[in-house]
Amino acid sequence: MSRALYNPRGTTAVITGASSGLGVGYAHELARRGADLVLVARRQERLEALAVDLAERFGTVSTVIPLDLTAPDAVAELVADLTSRSIPVGTLINNAGFGTIGDFVDTDPERQVAQLRLNVLALTELTHALLPGLIATATRQSGAAALVNLASTAAFQPVPHMSVYAASKAYVLSFTESVWFETRPTGLKVLAVCPGFVHTEFAAVAGSTVPKRALTVERVISSTSAALDRPRTPPKLIVGSRNTVLAGAAVIAPIRVVLTAASRRH
């Protein structure tokens, strides 16, 4: 068995979207590895229940911060809260996000703006605010710090009927790859995770159903952990061999073919 090269023990990890799905999965994995946690999401009761569960299982100290990150000043409020509590952050998991299915012309404009605020703006603002601390942790303690941004296989092509979501995830992927390159000398592990559909609440929120070939939360978490444990963590991770093939095909196929295929999958 290979040695785990990502070791956040003794540090604190911030996880957004921590009340369900992948957020809960990442919380369990980081707690198992010895990190304390800051759990951020709108649903306070779920966060508090998760904090109790993690304390009982792993002895983890979790700080619960109920917050709607689509609000314009939410990130500033979160950073101020972390500062007031003197919580130094060693890992940031930007997991919060949602999608909307439907032709762009027919969708609620306020919902689309909220989607961009969460998927793009909040992620960017929070990364910028916490990145100096992540780099400091990486410099001080080798292998202890990470930045994980949740992108999607939708990042590799335009997706009709999910146009804003796909565009937002293309931004997340491009942004994360750039930060990965910029921070290479620091030892910070930077990773964009690109799963396809996962068995979470995402589909219901977006107005769709979970396909039969959807990934499990456990598969995404274990793949993320394996990437972080590599001596040289790659800038992006596509989870699942089928998703890897589809993402590669989207890059080289004619755009009309890509758009037709993508529209049929959603």
| Tally of domains in the chain | 1
CA atoms within 13 A on the CB side of 261: 14
Both structure tokens of 160: 């009709």
Mean pLDDT of the chain: 90
User: pLDDT confidence of 207, banded at 50, 70, 90?
Assistant: low
55-90 pLDDT, tens digit per residue, is 999 999 999 999 999 998 999 999 999 999 999 999
User: pLDDT confidence of 214, banded at 50, 70, 90?
Assistant: confident
**Within a domain: 247:** yes
The neighbour count for residue 175, using CB atoms within 10 Å, is 17
User: pLDDT confidence of 213, banded at 50, 70, 90?
Assistant: confident
Domain range enclosing 251: 12-265
**Within a domain: 183:** yes
84-142 pLDDT, tens digit per residue, is 999 999 999 999 999 999 999 999 999 999 999 999 999 999 999 999 999 999 999 99
pTM (predicted TM-score): 0.91
- Active-site amino acid positions: 165
Location of structure tokens 């299982």 = 57
Q: Is 219 exposed, middle or buried (0-12, 13-18, 19+ CB in 10 A)?
A: middle
Q: Is 76 left (phi over 0), alpha (psi -120 to 50) or beta?
A: alpha
**Within a domain: 224:** yes
What percentage of the chain has pLDDT greater than the value 90? 77
pLDDT at 1 over 50: no
What pLDDT is stored for residue 258 in this prediction?
57
Q: For 26-44, what is the mean pLDDT?
A: 97
First to last CA, the chain: 39
**Within a domain: 5:** no
**Within a domain: 245:** yes
CATH number at 238 reads 3.40.50.720
Please write down the long-range contacts of 48-51, taking CB distance under 8 Å and 24 or more positions apart. Answer: 50/18, 50/19, 50/24
- Three-state DSSP state, 217: helix
**Within a domain: 3:** no
**Within a domain: 48:** yes
